[in-house]
Amino acid sequence: MEGRSTMLDSRVRERCCSSFSKQAFMTTLDARLLSLELGSAVIEVPFNDKFTQQHGFLHGGVVTSVLDSACGYAALTTMELDSGVLTVELKINLIKPAAGSLFQAHGKVVRAGRTLIVCTGEVCAEGDERNVIAVMQATMMAVRERAGIKD
């Protein structure tokens, strides 16, 4: 974020938390927004055998979902207060099986444009930053909250 302070305006924080609490899927996953700074967000999700793939690890789609949300809220911290965020596209490499009891998804803004925000992110198992199981590069879009539809 190019040297800017990472202190977050309290209204921005409230908006992000309010939006996160409306993501029913995050609630269903028992995910929580662990930390939020200007241009970054961390979401934590526990292992749950209702969300596994065929080998008993957390499903790659769940890993993707949580990291997508972390990147989305990282992006939202850089937007105007009346904007909402939508994922334009994302790319993820699943580099290790999602083995463990707890996962942390770190999203970070690489470039905040007025309309498009480019983010990178990674998921670590057991809060161990050296145990990266997935990396993402994604494009987010600022939209008028009322509409909630990109075009």
Site residue total, a second copy (CB under 8 A): 57
| Site membership for a second copy, residue 6 (CB under 8 A) | no
Q: Which helix (H) or strand (E) holds 121?
A: strand 116-125
Among 7, 11, 24, 101, binds a second copy (CB under 8 A): 24
| Site membership for a second copy, residue 144 (CB under 8 A) | no
Burial 69-105 (b: 16+ CB within 10 A, else e): bbbbbbbbbbbeeebbbebeebebebeeebebeebbb
Task: Report which of 97, 38, 102 is spatially closest to residue 66, judged by C-alpha positions.
Answer: 102
Among 25, 81, 102, 127, binds a second copy (CB under 8 A): 25
| Site membership for a second copy, residue 50 (CB under 8 A) | yes
Nearer to a second copy, 102 or 148 (CB): 148
| Site membership for a second copy, residue 116 (CB under 8 A) | yes
| Shortest distance, position 74 Cβ to a second copy, whole Å | 14
Cβ-proximal residues to 63 (8 Å cutoff; 6+ apart), any chain: 92, 94, 98, 103, 105, 123, 133, 134
| Shortest distance, position 10 Cβ to a second copy, whole Å | 20
Among 40, 65, 78, 104, binds a second copy (CB under 8 A): 65
| Site membership for a second copy, residue 32 (CB under 8 A) | no
Find out whether 69 and 29 touch, Cβ atoms under 8 Å: no
